[in-house]
Structure 1
Amino acid sequence: MGNTVSAAEIAASQIIHPNDPIKHKPYNHSKASTGNYPAECPMHRKAESECPIQQGKGDINPLNMMGPANQEPSPGQPFPLSKERQVSTIPKSIVKEGEGSFWVYPSPQMFWNAMLKKGWKWKSDDLKQKDMDAIIKIHNANNEHAWQEVLKWEALHAKECMDPRLKSFGGKASDYSPRARIRWLMGYELPFDRHDWIVDRCGKEVRYIIDYYDGGTVDDKFKFALLDVRPAMDSFENVWDRMRVTWWRWMYSNE
């Protein structure tokens, strides 16, 4: 579905070395979120890109900052990979001529190429052919789970819009959200990845933040990440939604 590679890279390491802990990048206390939308990812501006496709290279799609689908085997690739792509259940806000109305996930071959572009190096004792199929399933399951969590928030505005759609998204793995930083100061672990999604609420753009935490081993539904999905606190409406949900959770927590 785009440049959501980091979560699957973590999944890959879990598949190869299931007993190793997830490693986080050192947290820089002086680094603060700028709140701006990015040059290389749709939602955040910074000097270094988290995305597998760098800005200014080829025909880049501004909605997911990905170039044309690269389905060609990489030089020295040790085994063939499937080029089949799964259609998600996540509806697009912008549908170009000749495209379907739902976002489409990358194939195993596309994912392999994207991981190589980010600097990942294949070693003989690393991923096997069957592992790439599992990684794709994990990646897709995480995105489907995230969308279902978004829809729970969007249900608060069902009278306003019955058909929310995903407009754009981007990865910001090393730019920790204020919530994640506060949790870390309280002794909790940092998320291993973060995405920002822009949802089209029938003409109104709403930004969602998704923090990905280590959930342990991969389950039989290919889920291993714990997701913290919420609207960004960049509008009064979003702040009010979060206050309402926090109140409800506290009121009904014993039930």
Structure 2
Amino acid sequence: MGQTSSQSAPSRTAGLPSQACPIDHKSPSNVSSCPVPHDAPPKLAECPIDHESINSLNQMPNLSQDAAPSQSVALPTSRTESSIPRDPSTKWEYPSPQQFYNALARKGRETPEELEHVETMVAIHNFLNEQAWQEVLKWEKRAYPADDIQLARFKGRPGELSPKARIWMLAGWLMPSRFNTEPPFDRHDWVVRRPTTGEEVRYVIDYYSAPPEPDGSPVFSLDVRPALDSFGSIKERIAAATEDVWAGLRDNGKDRPRA
């Protein structure tokens, strides 16, 4: 696994060791959003989702474990528990492959190819969110020494570019040889709760695809940072950026020949 970045430009984060990522990252229309639905579902006939029940903690409908009408192969219905605390006694659970496929069906993307790779897609989805949580923990350690933080709620915002993502896209347009020109394929907003102080801090996460490893393993980049909602978050962002600059200067100084 590679490294993630939460302070400056998103860096490469190696994905799962598969021969090829099942998500077509070369086609923006196919990766413009996370396949798990985040918005209020439309009223679709024969859709296996309970449209009347929307979870206020993640703005998602309750996805059914029943097979989709067009489904030809049974999918696992077991869910994986994440490492992300939801409250003092429970952790968030990831959707099962069946729920994931039902989300694709809701978006009209339930193709035989998607069915074949859905379990790999779930693994990638879970891996990226685990990496995102580790980056959140790094940020939180800067301002909150306790280790009891929780993910209170989250919201997917696919198709909504964050201000920072817009800046990086502009940089890519001006200097395509140096910066990535592809937009993030997904965005999440996570609200972290600090139980000791009662504070809630919003984090913005941009998910990028990157060129694969030589062996074909997919590579992703995460840009995780606290939103500029408070003086404390602004202070941490400035401090982290300053540290990056000084680290770069020190590294450059080590490479200079001595007189």
TM class by shorter-chain length? 0.7 to 0.9
RMSD: 2.8
- The offset of 1:231, in angstroms, is 0.3
Q: Which has the higher contact order (CA 8 A, sep 6+)?
A: 2
TM-score between both structures, scaled by the size of structure 2: 0.72
* Partner Cα separation in structure 1 for residue 223 and residue 23 of structure 2: 26
Specify whether residues 119 and 24 from structure 1 end up closer, same or farther in structure 2 by C-alpha distance, changes over 3 A only. Answer: closer
Letter in 1 for 2:28: K
Question: In the alignment, which residue of structure 1 is the partner of 2:136?
Answer: 150
SS at 1:109 equivalent: helix
Q: Is the 8 A contact 1:174 1:193 kept in 2?
A: yes
Q: Is the 8 A contact 1:191 1:211 kept in 2?
A: yes
Flag structure 2 segments of 5+ consecutive residues without an equivalent: 1-17, 44-50, 173-179, 252-259
* Partner Cα separation in structure 2 for residue 54 and residue 81 of structure 1: 22
The structure with the largest alpha-carbon Rg is 2
* Partner Cα separation in structure 2 for residue 223 and residue 242 of structure 1: 29
CA deviations on 1:123-174 (whole Å, 9 max, x unpaired) are x4x2353x22211110100000000000000001233x33111011111121
1:107-118 residue pairs with structure 2 within 5 A? 107-118=96-107
Specify whether residues 117 and 52 from structure 1 end up closer, same or farther in structure 2 by C-alpha distance, changes over 3 A only. Answer: farther
Specify whether residues 105 and 136 from structure 1 end up closer, same or farther in structure 2 by C-alpha distance, changes over 3 A only. Answer: same
Flag structure 1 segments of 5+ consecutive residues without an equivalent: 1-10, 28-49
* Partner Cα separation in structure 2 for residue 228 and residue 244 of structure 1: 17
Specify whether residues 218 and 81 from structure 1 end up closer, same or farther in structure 2 by C-alpha distance, changes over 3 A only. Answer: farther
Letter in 2 for 1:146: A
* Partner Cα separation in structure 2 for residue 245 and residue 65 of structure 1: 31
Letter in 1 for 2:236: D
Specify whether residues 241 and 86 from structure 1 end up closer, same or farther in structure 2 by C-alpha distance, changes over 3 A only. Answer: same
TM-score between both structures, scaled by the size of structure 1: 0.73
Mean Cα deviation higher: 106-115 or 180-189: 180-189
Specify whether residues 218 and 71 from structure 1 end up closer, same or farther in structure 2 by C-alpha distance, changes over 3 A only. Answer: farther
Question: In the alignment, which residue of structure 2 is the partner of 1:77?
Answer: 71
* Partner Cα separation in structure 1 for residue 213 and residue 193 of structure 2: 31
1:166-205 residue pairs with structure 2 within 5 A? 166-187=151-172, 188-189=180-181, 190-202=183-195, 203-205=198-200
Q: Is the 8 A contact 2:101 2:110 kept in 1?
A: no
- The offset of 1:92, in angstroms, is 0.5
* Partner Cα separation in structure 1 for residue 239 and residue 28 of structure 2: 35
Match of 2:59 among 65, 73, 78: 65
Is 2:4 the partner of 1:15?
A: no
Match of 2:223 among 225, 228, 235: 228
Question: In the alignment, which residue of structure 1 is the partner of 2:114?
Answer: 127
Q: Is the 8 A contact 1:215 1:226 kept in 2?
A: yes
Q: Is the 8 A contact 1:53 1:117 kept in 2?
A: no
Q: Is the 8 A contact 1:52 1:114 kept in 2?
A: no
Q: Is the 8 A contact 1:24 1:192 kept in 2?
A: no
Specify whether residues 60 and 206 from structure 1 end up closer, same or farther in structure 2 by C-alpha distance, changes over 3 A only. Answer: same
Q: Is the 8 A contact 2:158 2:185 kept in 1?
A: yes
Specify whether residues 22 and 227 from structure 1 end up closer, same or farther in structure 2 by C-alpha distance, changes over 3 A only. Answer: farther
Specify whether residues 69 and 51 from structure 1 end up closer, same or farther in structure 2 by C-alpha distance, changes over 3 A only. Answer: closer
* Partner Cα separation in structure 1 for residue 164 and residue 141 of structure 2: 23
Is 2:80 the partner of 1:86?
A: yes
Question: In the alignment, which residue of structure 2 is the partner of 1:54?
Answer: 41
